Chains A and B, each alone.
Chain A
Amino acid sequence: MSRIHVSGLGAVSSAGWGVPALMEAVATGRRPEVSLLERETAGGEVRATEVLRVPKPADRGVIPRSPRLRRASTVGKHAAAAAAEALGPERLAAAQAGGFRLGVISTLMNGCVNYSNRFFGEVLEDPSTASPILFPETVYNAPSSHLSAMTASTAPNDTLVGDGAEYFTGIDLAAEWLLRDDCDAVLVVAAEELDWLSAEAMGFYARALVPSEGAAAVLLEKDASGPVLLAVPDGVSYAGEADRCRALGRVVDGLADLVGPAGDTGILLSDGRTGVARFDRAEDEVFAGWAGPRVSLRTQLGESLGAAAGLQTVVAVESVRRGEVAKALVTSVGGNEGVGAALFGA
């Protein structure tokens, strides 16, 4: 059977623009500076939420030039920058020239909340003057559509909505497309943006969660060079297994032949722990004896919702690519849908 390789990576995070910025943050353990997202209610109350923003890019060239991106919201720009980095300039040009069939899969939880906020505000103000420019950008699949337009690709494009583990469904679907020869390459992109609506909402779950934003892109190709996708097991739904420890245990059991019960010193665990004990209990317990190195990206760079598992994946794959570890396991215990994981190797 053909092997699926990760031939490109891209990242936008609170650590900065690009995979090097992300990896440097992981290496140093440095947490980006928290800022305040403030807004005033109709009653005059000022509400402030601590957030970890994506910094302004030092080089505006990291956001590709594309007519579609003129009106795109921040999430679309994050996605485009990560996708362009994963492709690299030569592959991007080749895609635009029709040199290969590039599928696009976007996964997200929150989506274009910034424009949704603005548009619904206008609707409540007076629907007869609400902006027709904003509305199309509120749709979940707008960022994904922009990626296909940016790469001039007419190959399939899917947007998947779910909890923090949805990214693995995207990886799974991409593998399916490649093995069926629907595409020559597939970009799996996870992107989110900050807005007071979602940032304040996160506070209802735990005050210790710091809302963040960003994007991750993984370029998958069959029989290419780069780290290999070794396994992406079926996710376990909370509909059938409500206990998160058991759900995660089932996913990990499915990888036992490749990982072993506690990994080994050559296997990186890039987990989804947040720093909030009750959310982290499953990964704390199931991986209590983990023998290898372990990274908990969300505790450092904030909770970027649908983008977080994508960023965890970028860290995992890049660690394999650099030869720092032989394998890397990525896990996420989602908030209200299920558990997912993926395993990569050299």
Chain B
Amino acid sequence: MVITGAGIVSSMGTGWSENAAGFRAGRTAFREVDLFDTSRQRVGSAGQAEVPEEAPAWAGARTWSRMDRGSRLAWIAAQEALGQAGLAEDGGAMPILVGTSAGAMPLGEAYYRQAVVGGSRRGQFSRVERYQPQRQLTSMARELGLHGPLRIVSNACASGANAIGQAFHLVREGRAARVLAGGYDALSQLVFAGFDSLQALAPSGIPRPFDARRDGLAIGEGAGFVVVESLASARERGARVLAEVAGYGAATDVHHLTQPHPEGDAALATMTTATRMAGLEPRDIDYINSHGTGTPLNDIAEARAIARWAGDAVGGVAVSSTKSAIGHLLGGAGAVEAVICLMALDGQWLPASLNIREPDEACIFDLVREPRDSGVEAVLTNSFGFGGANATLVMRKEVAS
């Protein structure tokens, strides 16, 4: 199972090149949110992406105008992934697996505002219909010329990784030659206020995953998509292989609805499953793109899980959280971070956990605090979500024979 195409949009930029340049340079991409009023909240900034109002040249203007912000992000990333895979003109019957946590929430918010006021119902049917993610993604599929079944996974912040993992299984078991898989989420007032209500957002607006005095996360938005394909299919098409998807693990943390088990039990389970499936040992993993939200509870649980998983090899395992640069993309995070891992494999460099002042003492691994050149053959990416959804993907540069 290999990846033959990848696409990405984040607050760092649109497309592989802009994002790769930004992560390689160690840039952060946060700004004041101007999509809704944040004046009564503890935090007013986020990783807000540039989303064009006008349809890109390759997109149908009418469909674009009917899409919500998140679906536009998804479409941009999916288009890039298919283009890179050489499938922009003929995606055919490939299934589509997409992770999202909030779907088209801003449209639901608009519906709510008008319904509460009462009076006119103008535009309300359109909002109801377009609020549904399956409606938006079916439209996207039609525009992309993809006719296969659609599956929307909504496992909170693990959704994108789960979607890629499930695509991996579909191809591995011969149910599809190739699958378009990814995840997306856009900023919305409800979700932003929700994380603020939990006091999970960093008051400074600067997330510092794995810092000893970290105080929360920053929300971001964006999308990541990949084409997962059988090696035979890729070779038959003469497609360039970006990486092999070598392992996937999924498990459930039942400790608490919003808090991980303090020792990271479920994370340990998914990391172990994914590396075993890949036929690798922890010492073979050159880089971990951690879930690394920057909240006190998440980072320490993940650090402990990594230490337990790696054992004696932990000191040699390079770890960073790219949420320090673009924020937490929720349902899109796992897919976007998988694409960042592909960039690391492709460019042979490691992205960093930025803005760390003093690492938490639980970080006994090699915490990457500045981007650096490095030999990268195998990577692992973790995604954890509300509800205890845990997922790990392992990818490697060289395809196993």
Set of chain B residues within 8 Å of A121, measured between Cβ atoms: 112, 116
Tell me which residues from 148 to 173 in chain B have a Cβ below 8 Å from any Cβ of chain A.
148-156, 162, 166, 169, 173
- Nearest CB to that of B119 among chain A residues? A43
For residue A260, give the distance in angstroms from its CB to the closest CB of chain B.
Answer: 25
When distances are taken between beta carbons in the complex, the residues of chain A under 8 Å from B38 are 127
Is the pair B189, A148 in contact by a Cβ cutoff of 8 Å? no
- A201 in contact with B111 given A141-B389, A144-B387 (CB within 8 Å): yes
- Given A135-B197, A145-B257, A157-B252, decide whether A337 and B266 contact each other with a Cβ distance below 8 A: no
Known: A158-B153, A169-B151. A136 touches B251 (CB 8 A): no
> Given A237-B150, A336-B135 in contact, is the A157-B155 Cβ separation under 8 Å?
yes
Binary A-proximity of B120-134 (CB < 8 A = 1, otherwise 0): 010011001100111
A213 touches B (CB below 8 Å): no
Q: Which A residues are in CB contact (< 8 Å) with B128?
A: 201, 204
Contacts of A135 in B (CB 8 A): 193-195, 197-198
A148–B387 CA distance with the chains assembled, in angstroms: 9
Q: Which of A102-151 contact B (CB under 8 A)?
A: 104, 109, 116-117, 119-121, 123-124, 126-128, 130-132, 135-142, 144-146, 148-149
A237/B138 in contact, CB under 8 A = yes
Give the residue name and chain of the A residue nearest to B103 (CB): A161
* A43 contacts across to B, CB distance below 8 A: 117-119
* A residues less than 8 Å from B40 (CB atoms): 126-128
Query: Are B138 and A338 in touch, CB under 8 angstroms?
Result: yes
Q: A291 → chain B, closest Cβ, in Å? A: 29
Question: Are A119 and B194 in contact, with the CB atoms below 8 A?
Answer: yes
CB distance from A90 to the nearest CB of B (A): 21
- Let me know if B132 and A169 touch, CB within 8 A: no
**A274: shortest Cβ distance to chain B, in Å?**
17
- A142 and B387 contact, CB distance less than 8 A: yes
Given A159-B155, A161-B134, A336-B135, do A141 and B385 touch, yes or no (CB 8 Å)?
A: yes
Cβ–Cβ contact B250 & A156, under 8 A = yes
Interface mask (A20-56 → B, CB under 8 Å = 1, otherwise 0) = 0000000000000000000001111101000000000
Contact residues in A for B198 (Cβ distance below 8 Å): 132, 135-136
Contact with A along B246-279 (1 / 0, CB 8 A): 0000111110011000000110010000000000
Known A158-B153, A201-B128: A41·B118 in contact at CB below 8 Å: yes
Interface string of B288-308 (1 = CB under 8 A from A): 000000000000000000000
Q: Does B213 contact A (CB under 8 A)?
A: no
Q: Are A42 and B116 closer than 8 Å at their CB atoms?
A: yes
**Closest B residue to A46 using CB positions:** B118
Q: A120-B190, A141-B385 are in contact. Are A163 and B132 (CB under 8 A)?
A: yes
Known contacts: A145-B386, A204-B128, A235-B149. The answer to whether A138 contacts B252 by CB under 8 A is no
Chain A CB within 8 A of B3 CB? no
Instruction: Give the CA-CA distance A45 to B118 in the complex, in Å.
Output: 7
- Measured CB to CB, the closest approach of chain A to B136, in angstroms, equals 9
Question: Is the pair A197, B134 in contact by a Cβ cutoff of 8 Å?
Answer: no
| Distance of A142 Cα from B196 Cα, bound (Å) | 19
Residues A237 and B385 in contact, CB atoms below 8 Å apart: no
Is the pair A239, B101 in contact by a Cβ cutoff of 8 Å?
no
A262 within 8 A of B: no
Provide the A291-321 mask, 1 if CB < 8 A to any CB of B, else 0: 0000000000000000000000000000000
With A130-B197, A142-B387 as given contacts, are A154 and B254 in contact (CB-CB < 8 Å)? Answer: yes
Per the bound structure, the CA–CA distance linking A346 and B141 in Å amounts to 38
Q: Is the CB of A41 within 8 A of B41?
A: no
- Interface flag for A13 (CB, 8 Å): no
CB-CB < 8 A to B133: which residues of A? 161
- B387, A130: Cβ atoms closer than 8 Å: no
Interface contact A145-B154, CB-CB below 8 Å: no
For the complex formed, measure the closest distance between the CB of B59 and the CB atoms of chain A, giving whole angstroms. Answer: 15
Cα A236 to Cα B129 with chains together (Å)? 20
User: Do B118 and A47 touch across chains, with their CB atoms under 8 A apart?
Assistant: yes
Is residue A332 contacting chain B, with contact meaning CB distance below 8 A?
A: no
In the bound complex, do residue B251 and residue A154 qualify as a contact, i.e. CB atoms below 8 Å apart?
yes
Inter-chain CA distance A42–B117, complex, in Å, is: 5
25 contacts between A and B (CB under 8 A): A41-B115, A41-B119, A104-B252, A123-B190, A124-B113, A127-B193, A141-B155, A145-B257, A153-B254, A154-B265, A157-B252, A157-B387, A158-B162, A160-B152, A160-B153, A161-B134, A161-B152, A163-B134, A173-B166, A180-B169, A204-B128, A238-B138, A239-B138, A239-B141, A336-B134
Nearest 8 CB-CB pairings of A with B: A41-B118, A240-B147, A145-B387, A135-B194, A239-B141, A140-B154, A337-B134, A204-B125
